[in-house]
A and B are shown apart, each in its own frame.
Chain A
Amino acid sequence: MNRRLILVASVFGLLLVLPHVAYPVLLMKLMCFGLFACAFNLLLGYTGLLSFGHAAFFGLSAYVTGHAIKVWGFTPELGVLAGTVTGLMLGVVVGAVAIRRQGIYFAMITLALAQMVYFLCLQLPFTGGEDGLQEVPRGRLLGMIDLTSDVAMYYFVLAMSVAAVWLIHRIIDSPFGQIVKAIRDNEARAQSLGYDVNRFKLLVFVLSAAISGLAGALKVLVFQFATLSDVHWHASGEVVLMTLLGGLGTELGPIAGAAVVVLLQNGLADKVGSLVTVIMGVIFMTCVLMFRKGIAGSLAGLVKRHPPA
């Protein structure tokens, strides 16, 4: 137990020092996508529901937060709240429709609904269409802390991300989380035990959508713009890849997966240009064929085989 405490404390220490040694904007990007992947993992890894439309929550929330701050003059914390609520409400609508079918159909329905959101974002006036929403001011947190400084912004994103990841951890560990895992492992059995399976699925879906919305809202604050690529199905695919690569159903794996994907994209973009998509596709296929446990799952397997002395 003590070792665990030391580990957690040193990770926190590292996270606090990190913006002074590494580029804060990149770190924030990693956190936003890591959080997005964790939210997605709550659904796929722990409930067994494959949503192919999670970009809708991430992207639409980014737009709403950006619009609320830029046009309505919301403070950053209210803007982030607006984004999270957007994710939540869209999650209720999409979830209620999608859980009417299972498995493969669930994936196709979420993809189709997300595409609908994409077209709405393309056509609605407030999103700026092809240009996207630009020059969103970061503002002052609670009217006091100036977020234009990247380091201040970093600590805000860090606090929100840690809180959200902790919330996900608590959800998974709760009795509710146990029931959700039971549904993943054997839906018919969970139902025969008297659980209203669809209500649990919907609730997880909504939670996952809301946290994805939070991630999108933070992203728009960090980069100060929201674009159509946030709602595009490519983004939905990316978050699946991050989660799969990091390890399905592992608590911190998706963060590692997100880090690998984001760093790869950042590192490769200027070297190979449009081949990045090809590389992502190949990684995707390789993961599915040979690396289904992901980074965290494989590490856990290693530790189990060679327990530390």
Chain B
Amino acid sequence: MNLVSIPLPALFGQLTLGLVNGCFYALLSLGLAVIFGMLHIVNFAHGAMYTMGAFVAWLALHAFGIGYWPSLLLAPIVVVAFGVVIERLLLRHLYQLDHLYSLLFTFGLALAVEGLFRHQFGVSGLPYSIPTELEGTFDLGFMRLPRYRVWVVVVSIAVCFATWFGIERTRLGSRLRAATENAALTSAFGINVPILVMSTFAFGIGLAAFAGVLAAPLVQVNPLMGSNLIIVVFAVVVIGGMGSILGSIFTGLGLGVLEGMAKVVYPEASATVVFVVMVVVLLIRPSGLFGKES
């Protein structure tokens, strides 16, 4: 395949789509990393929370006439409320056990949540239209850039960096990092660690739900949108390592762009390119690009 023979607009179109996908990878892997750092669990239900965010937005619009903008806040709140109830009632009891049990628990949760949506809405996608303010395209001369994609990229990157700032540069963040490092010692300083744990979990799945609302107008809202994504995000997390916040952001964005490139250059490989990168990284640098081996 000759790169020169590819029309430029198609190339840039796929690149922006890749960047958009990369934003979702970044938002989801960031949430996974934050939760993993604090609770030491890998949240398999992260994809289901993303799906749930999209469905809440869809339901809000079609049942209550609540539009896109309020949903950006409302859907994460609903999903977080659901997640926190699960965490407090059930998941909490698994923290002392082998991490594998919490992975299995959240896997079961993901199955149950997706199954419910599938039962209720079927597998065909439900359309969710782009808010009127973001319809249309920017004409850049060499290509037309849909406004909605620009919005998704800008807001995702802003949220990612706000998260990085919050964790690495604020007082609350330093408490969070302290609790991650040594929970017992941190609570000895009078910091309420269980609340921190719960809010971290809430924040992580809130990010997933937020990503779900962002994705709703781009993809058809369907029960499997989360599980298809989460497996790729797992690979992203393995590539980037879960130790570093900036690491997960850059890895997510980079792999999204790479996938977009693959769609242009060699479409057959676009579904597997992330996994291939994962294998290569594991062979060369097993602890991930930004990871520290514990």
A103 to chain B, nearest CB (A): 6
B100 close to A278 (CB less than 8 A): no
Q: Find chain B residues with CB under 8 A from A204 CB.
A: none
From B40, which residue of chain A is reached at the shortest CB distance? A104
Q: Which of B111, B232, B237 contacts A278 (CB 8 A)?
A: B111
In whole angstroms, how far apart are the Cα atoms of A274 and B223 in the complex?
12
Contact residues in B for A123 (Cβ distance below 8 Å):
268, 271
Q: Which one of B108, B234, B237, B274 has the greatest number of beta carbons of chain A within 10 Å? A: B108
Which one, A100, A277, A284, A287, contacts B114 given CB within 8 A?
A: A277
B104 pairs with A100, CB closer than 8 A: no
Q: Are B111 and A108 in contact (CB under 8 A)?
A: no
Those of B259-281 within 8 Å (CB) of chain A: 268, 271-272, 274-276, 278-279
Return B123 CB to nearest CB of chain A, in Å.
9
CA distance A181 to B114 in the complex (A): 36
By the criterion CB–CB under 8 Å, are B118 and A108 in contact? no
Closest Cβ of chain B to A97, distance in Å, is: 5
A89 interface hit (Cβ, 8 Å): no
Residues A97 and B238 in contact, CB atoms below 8 Å apart: no
Assess A289 versus B112: contact at CB under 8 Å? Given A50-B103, A274-B118: no
Question: Does B113 have its Cβ within 8 Å of any Cβ on chain A?
Answer: yes
Q: Let me know if A103 and B99 touch, CB within 8 A.
A: yes
Of the four ranges (under 10, 10 to 19, 20 to 34, 35 or more), the interface on chain A belongs to 35 or more
Q: What is the CA–CA distance of A107 and B116 in the complex, to the nearest angstrom? A: 25
Q: Is B282 an interface residue (CB 8 A)?
A: yes
A239 on interface, CB distance cutoff 8 Å: no
Interface size of B by Cβ–Cβ distance < 8 Å?
43
Cross-chain contact A277 with B118 (CB below 8 angstroms): yes
Are A112 and B238 within 8 A (Cβ)?
yes
Contact A109-B231, Cβ < 8 Å, known A97-B283, A119-B272, A278-B111: no
- Given known A113-B279, A119-B271, contact A278–B104 (CB-CB < 8 A): no
Residue-by-residue, is A219-257 near B (CB-CB < 8 Å gives 1, otherwise 0)? 000000000000001100100110010000000000000
Who on chain A is nearest to B48 by CB? A281
Residues of A within 8 Å of B238, CB to CB, are 101, 105, 108-109, 112
CA distance A275 to B90 in the complex (A): 22
User: CA of A287 to CA of B105 in the docked complex: distance in angstroms?
Assistant: 9
The minimal Cβ–Cβ distance linking B145 to chain A, given in whole angstroms, is 29
Q: Please tell me which one of the listed residues B100, B113, B272 contacts residue A120 in the complex, with CB atoms under 8 A apart.
A: B272
> In the docked arrangement, what's the CA distance between A122 and B108, Å?
25
Name the one of B99, B107, B272, B283 contacting A116, with C-beta atoms under 8 angstroms.
B272
- Which chain B residues lie closer than 8 Å to A115 at the CB level? 231-232, 235, 275
Name the residue of chain B whose CB is nearest to the CB of A278: B115
- Is A163 located at the chain interface by the 8 A CB criterion? no
Contact B231 A285 (CB under 8 A): no
Binary CB contact string for chain A from 266 to 281 against chain B (1 if under 8 A, 0 otherwise) = 0000000111111111
Residues on B with beta carbons closer than 8 Å to the beta carbon of A122: 271
Does B84 interact with chain A (Cβ within 8 Å)? Answer: no
User: B104, B116, B275: which contacts A244 (Cβ < 8 A)?
Assistant: B104
A282 adjacent to chain B (CB < 8 Å): yes
| Given A104-B99, A281-B110, 17 new contacts (CB under 8 A) | A100-B282, A101-B287, A103-B100, A104-B36, A108-B237, A108-B238, A109-B282, A111-B231, A116-B272, A120-B272, A237-B107, A240-B104, A276-B115, A277-B118, A285-B109, A288-B94, A289-B94
Q: Can you show 21 pairs from A to B with CB atoms below 8 A apart?
A: A97-B279, A101-B282, A104-B36, A107-B100, A108-B42, A111-B231, A112-B274, A112-B275, A113-B275, A115-B231, A115-B235, A116-B272, A233-B227, A233-B231, A234-B111, A277-B118, A281-B112, A284-B108, A285-B90, A285-B105, A288-B105
Interface residues of A (CB under 8 A from B): 50, 52, 97, 100-101, 103-105, 107-109, 111-113, 115-116, 119-120, 122-123, 233-234, 237, 240-241, 244, 273-285, 287-289, 292
